[in-house]
Amino acid sequence: MEDIGWKVDYSAIPPDPYLIKDDSRKADVERHFGISKKTVNPIGLWMFESRESAGSPIIGYPLRYSPPAGKSGGITGLFMKKEIQVPVGGWLYCVPGLKASGKNGKESNRYTLVFDVRLPKENTFYCLYNTSPYSNNDGECFINPDGFLGSGNNGYGSVKIEAKRWYRLGIVVDADKKSRRYYIDGAFSHEVKDVDMDGRYSIYNAKAAAPILCFFGDENGEDGAIDARSIALYGIPLDDLQMRKLGNSGNFVFGL
Ligand SMILES: [Ca+2]
Ligand SMILES: [Ca+2]
């Protein structure tokens, strides 16, 4: 290397998001995640349990991190102990690689998202995902300051999500049935029938101009710092039995 005349403290430089290592479990998804040719499988699966591979996909495309305004750094810089913490104003994003789905739908209108998350504190908004490619409008799924999961008017459940413990939270969207259904640790929570085809809840598909899906980001700060251990995305609406099989955050079998 060229002698530039002063010493560089490389440890002070934020980790490069493009140097994320593969999760070693990726090499044998059948053994580690119960994923095989015979099972119904996620199209995207991301784990955040180690610093080196946080954001590296088990299945699908890599996750990237967009830091809050004025900050820098990659996804590995969010690593805590066995999880990442995504700050207010920061969010993750990926190319989900979904196909168009739903009757005459141009976007992806039928899918399931599953999050293993922990809320550091009560009485604040948390956002799980945003279908806007730049998280620049209202998020699509929240835990509100009362601790309830959902979004929109009359769109929240009545089971309180407590702070400081891990939950597996799921949302199943099926625009063919106008439906969004919510699950907490595999148990059905509630359903709202207001989903429009190619509307708020649809995800831009692989052929869209900006085929990007965002996690944990909201346009006006309703995205309190949240701890996350994994995200799974299925390209179909899972049913109650499949959601029950996915269970809670202690279960690593994602092939159904
Ligand atoms: Ca908002
Ligand atoms: Ca949105």
How does pLDDT run across 177-217, given as a tens digit for each residue? 999 999 999 999 999 999 999 999 999 988 888 889 999 99
Rounded Cα gap, residues 191 and 88, in angstroms: 28
Distance 136 CA to ligand 2 centre (A): 7
pLDDT at 176 (0 to 100): 98
Residues near ion ligand 2 (Cβ under 5 Å): 130, 132, 137
Q: Give the number of other Cβ atoms within 10 Å of residue 205's Cβ.
A: 19
Q: Are 64 and 17 spatial neighbours (Cβ–Cβ below 8 Å)?
A: yes
In the three-class reduction of DSSP (H, G, I as helix; E, B as strand; rest coil), residue 30 is classed as: helix
Q: Is the pLDDT of residue 8 over 80?
A: no
What is the rounded CA–CA span in Å between residue 225 and residue 20?
22
13 pLDDT above the threshold of 90 = no
Q: What angle do CA 245, 250, 253 make, to 5 degrees?
A: 45
How many CB atoms lie under 10 A from the CB of residue 14? Answer: 12
Q: Find out whether 52 and 21 touch, Cβ atoms under 8 Å.
A: yes
- Average pLDDT for residues 225-253, to the nearest whole number? 98
Strand partners, 93: 64, 214
Query: Token digits for 143?
Result: 């835990």
Q: What is the mean pLDDT of the chain?
A: 93
Domain boundaries, the chain: 28-246
Minimum-distance ligand to the CA of 140?
2
Cα 122 to the center of its chain, rounded Å: 20
pTM over 0.85: yes
Quick one: average pLDDT of 212-228?
A: 97
pLDDT in tens, 17-69: 556 788 999 999 999 999 999 999 999 999 999 998 998 999 999 899 999 99
Give pLDDT tens digits for 160-177: 999 999 999 999 999 999
Instruction: Kindly indicate the confidence band of residue 128, based on its pLDDT and cuts at 50, 70 and 90.
Output: very high
**Pick among 2.60.120.10, 3.30.390.50, 3.40.50.150, 2.60.120.200: CATH of 28-246:** 2.60.120.200
79: DSSP letter: B
pLDDT in tens, 70-97: 998 889 899 999 999 999 999 999 999 8
Question: Residue 213: which H helix or E strand, with range?
Answer: strand 213-215
Which ligand has the minimum distance to the alpha carbon of residue 136?
2
What ligand is nearest to the CA atom of residue 130?
A: 2
Ligand 1 centroid, distance to 90 Cα (angstroms): 13
CA dist 62 and 179 (Å) reads: 29
Predicted confidence at residue 20, as pLDDT, reads 75
How many CA atoms are closer than 13 Å to the CA of 252, on its beta-carbon side?
Answer: 12
Number of the ligand closest to the Cα of 222? 1
